[in-house]
Amino acid sequence: MRIGRQVGMLRGAKVTRPDQIEVGDHCIIGFDCFLGGEGRLFIGNNVNIASFSVLLGGRHDINDPAFTSVLQPTVIEDYAWVATRVTITSGVRIGRGAVVGAGAVVTRDVAPYAVVAGVPARVIGERRPDACVYALNYQPWFF
C-alpha cells in the first residue's frame, strides 16, 4: 500500500488488496472504514474519509451465469470530503473538492466541487473551489 505523508488512518480500518491502493498526502481515513482495493483505489491529497465509510473495490456481474467479478478502479480526487457512513461503489470517481453527505450511497461519478447526498446520491449543492486550499494534518492522540 502506498501511503503519503501526514496520513492519519484510525483504528479499525479494514483493507483488502493493499498492494492496489494509493493514498496521497495529508489524508484522514476514519475509524472502522473499509477500503477495497480489488479493482484499484486511488485517494488523492487532502482527502477526508470519515468514519464507518465503505469504498468498494469490485462487484459481480448479476447477469453472468458464473457471477463473474467486475473490478474497476475507484478514484477520490484531491480535497474531497466523504462524510460518515458513506458507501462508494467500484468504478466511481469523486471529483476534486466534492462533498459526499453522511449516509449517501454513491453509484455514479460525482463532478468536481459538487455536494451530493442521499440514496442514491444526488447533487444538492456546490462547493466553492477557493475553499480547497488547506492541508489536512489530523494527528489524533489515539489511533
**Domains defined for the chain, CATH in brackets:** 2-131 (2.160.10.10)
Task: For residue 51, count CB atoms less than 10 angstroms from its CB and return exposed for 0-12, middle for 13-18, buried for 19 or more.
Answer: middle
Question: CA 118, 122, 123, 127 torsion: positive or negative?
Answer: positive
pLDDT in tens, the chain (143 residues): 999 999 999 999 999 999 999 999 999 999 999 999 999 999 999 999 999 999 999 999 999 999 999 999 999 999 999 999 999 999 999 999 999 999 999 999 999 999 999 999 999 999 999 999 999 988 776 55
DSSP category for residue 118: T
Q: What is the pLDDT of residue 143?
A: 54
Q: What is the pLDDT of residue 142?
A: 58
Catalytic residue among 5, 11, 14, 60: 60
What count of other Cβ atoms lies within 10 Å of the Cβ of residue 141?
4
Is residue 26 flagged as an active site residue? Answer: no
* Residue 50 grid coordinates: 470519515
In angstroms, the CA 118 to CA 15 distance is: 25
Q: What is the pLDDT of residue 139?
A: 74
